Amino acid sequence: MERLDKLVSQRSSLTRSEARSLIKRGEVAVNGEVCKSCDKKFDSSAEIVVGGKSLGGKYLYLMMNKPEGVVCATKDSLEKTVLDILPPQYKNRGLFPAGRLDKDTTGLLLLTNDGEFSHRIMSPNKNVYKYYIAQTDKPLSEDDISLFRSGIVFKDGTKCKSAFAENLKGEGACRVGVKICEGKYHQVKKMLAVCGVKVQKLERISIGFLTLDIKLPKGGCRELTDIEISQILFSSFT
């Protein structure tokens, strides 16, 4: 919870004193209601409108091209997090990663302050598939690919849901594409390890039908369009 004058200042180019003046004049609405109290506190996801201009809706949805070396967490006392590298306008908005990527895994990461949306994306029961490209030490065999379809079992007895895997054509290093609808710890790396394949690099390319924007530099982010948000909630196995 933050003071209203602080929230307005954080989401705009206004100083705290300028924000207080606008609030007192009745030019600021929060969640559809005018508020003239500068010290009243609101959740960071509150919808704020100043002079008829929105400073951000109740919910925010971002696409990030996650770089290596940052962790998918809201806070970490030792490591830099994905929230630490967000542009200033997205700070203090109650954002969190919708699903996780390992510290050394790159690619498509969604950040939001909409818990229900995040659950819908990440729940295995919703069958929203995520596609990864792994650089590996060798290709998969046909038996390995069949094993992915039947459901790989880890050494501890954990069985993964049916997944899709393919060898990708191209010169140079071996590359394998993997599509899963779960988010178990180190899942893609562990699934490939069961097949005797070692992952050297891993990147997430898509979630549902939403594909990583190739124009986004590593560490860059942008807001999703309404169409893109809807694309996430549709998926395909093959």
By annotation, the residues acting in catalysis are 102
Secondary structure of residue 123 in the 3-state scheme: coil
Per DSSP, the chain holds a count of helices (H) and strands (E) of 6, 15
CA proximity to 133, closest of 181, 164, 163, 168? 168
Give the side-chain half-sphere CA count within 13 A for 137. 9
Across 39-71, b (16+ Cβ under 10 Å) vs e yields: eeebebbbebbbeeeebbeebbbbbbbbbeebb
Give the side-chain half-sphere CA count within 13 A for 1. 4
- Tokens linked to 104: 């050394």
* Alpha carbon distance 95, 228 (integer Å): 18
